[in-house]
């Protein structure tokens, strides 16, 4: 499994973009997906997803990273399609009939076309929501994130918690891979197991050492940080400086424009 949340230094327009502009993109994405959901939202979500895809392409993010994201979300998508297909209230066009299980007015044995469609809308909404943050952290260096958060007057401790969480995500991936390798060496191959075997047999032997090791690493990080004065009741010195270019304002304008179009479309349809 490859770490999704890892900054890669590449010189692209998205990498060069002012971190606050990228933060605005993440923030507006979150606002968009928090609007009350309707089955007619698909075009709006697809517009924003298309815009995100454009940013992913411009940022030259490798496909395998996107594949990892999809791999993580796949289980959720299948679950949503199935559950919505079977339980969606407005569903009256049968797609697949598994049997008949009447529960009040719903028939839980029938997968409906409307239910599957609503499930699809939910899947796209999740994809929209989850594709913005990885793009932000893959194209923005930690020091830029810290400086940008400083500009927004976010407390230093909170900023560092966020940044540490990002580096811990990478660490978890690395540790996970090392533990899985070690288990393969003792004939325990999680990658070849089906979802049920994984749920019942595989995760506990991985999670036990993973949690213990993470505690240890967290402790080591704490030592390294606190012995470098982190947490001192002193106003930290600002080292990095960020300056906005005209192209950053243009991008901000574009992001806001797409957001406004999506919002208008959503509430006028």
Partner 1 sequence: MSDEAVISLENVTFTYEGDVVALRDLNLTARKGEFVVVLGANGAGKSTLCYLLSGIVPHIYGGRRRGHVSVVGADPWDEPLYSTSQRCGVLMQDPEVQLFMPTLRSELAFGPSNLGVPRREILDRAQDALSLVRLEGLEEHNPRDLSGGQKQRAALASILTMGPQVLVLDEPTSQLDPLGRWEVVEAIERLKQKGDLTIIMTTHETEEILRLADQVLVLDRGQAALQGPPGAVFNQPSKLDAAGVKTPGLMLIESTLVGGSEQADESTSDEIGRVDLTLSGVAAQIREEVEGGRLVVRPEALSRPQPAEVDGPVVLEARGLTFEYPGPPPVVALRNIDVKIRRGEFVGIIGQNGSGKSTLVKCFVGLLRSKEGDVLFKGESIRGLSVGEIARRIGLVLQNPDYQLFTSYSHEEVRFGLRNVGVPEDEIEERVQEALASVELSEEADLFPFRLSFGDRRKLAVAATMALGPEVLIMDEPTTAQDHRGRYQLADLAERFHETKGGTVLMITHDVDLIARYAHRLIVLHEGRVLLDGPTAEVFGEVEELKKSFVVPPVAAQVSAELSSVGVPRRVMTLEDLYQVLEPRHSGEGA
Residues that bind partner 1 (CB under 8 A): 7-9, 62, 64, 141-143, 163-164, 167, 175, 178-179, 181-189, 192, 205-206, 208-209, 212-213, 216-217, 219-232, 234-240
CB of 14 to partner 1, least distance (A): 16
CB of 123 to partner 1, least distance (A): 29
Pick 142 or 263: Cβ nearer partner 1: 142
| Residues in the chain, overall count | 269
The answer to whether 151 and 20 have CB atoms below 8 angstroms apart is: yes
Pick 93 or 208: Cβ nearer partner 1: 208
CB of 156 to partner 1, least distance (A): 8
Pick 141 or 263: Cβ nearer partner 1: 141
Please write down the HEC assignment for all residues of 138-191.
HHCCHHHHHHHHHHCCCCHHHHHHHHHHHHHHHHHHHHHHHHHHHHHCCCCCHH
CB of 86 to partner 1, least distance (A): 37
Residue whose token pair is 């392409």: 57
CA 187 to chain centre: 33
Pick 223 or 253: Cβ nearer partner 1: 223
Torsion angle, CA of 135/137/141/144, rounded to 10 degrees?
100
């Amino acid at each position: 499994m490859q770490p999704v949340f890892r900054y890669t230094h590449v010189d692209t327009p998205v990498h060069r973009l002012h971190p606050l502009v990228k933060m605005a993109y993440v923030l507006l994405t979150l606002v968009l997906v928090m609007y009350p959901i309707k089955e007619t939202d698909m075009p709006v979500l697809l517009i924003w997803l298309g815009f995100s895809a454009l940013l992913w392409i411009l940022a030259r993010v490798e496909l395998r990273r996107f594949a990892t994201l999809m791999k993580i979300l796949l289980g959720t998508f299948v679950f949503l399609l199935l559950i919505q297909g079977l339980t969606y209230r407005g569903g009256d066009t049968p797609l697949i009939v598994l049997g008949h299980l009447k529960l009040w007015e719903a028939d839980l044995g029938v997968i409906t076309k409307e239910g599957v469609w609503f499930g699809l809308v939910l899947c796209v909404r999740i994809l929209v929501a989850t594709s913005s943050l990885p793009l932000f952290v893959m194209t923005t260096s930690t020091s830029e994130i810290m400086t940008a958060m400083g500009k927004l007057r976010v407390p230093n401790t909170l900023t560092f918690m966020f940044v540490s969480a990002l580096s811990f995500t990478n660490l978890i991936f690395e540790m996970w891979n090392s533990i899985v390798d070690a288990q393969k060496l003792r004939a325990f191959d999680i990658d070849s197991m089906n979802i049920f075997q994984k749920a019942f047999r595989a995760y506990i032997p991985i999670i036990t050492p993973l949690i213990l090791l993470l505690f240890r690493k967290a402790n080591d990080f704490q030592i390294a940080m606190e012995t470098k004065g982190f947490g001192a009741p002193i106003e930290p010195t600002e080292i990095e400086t960020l300056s906005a270019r005209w192209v950053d304002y243009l991008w901000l304008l574009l992001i806001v424009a797409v957001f406004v179009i999506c919002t208008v479309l959503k509430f006028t349809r």
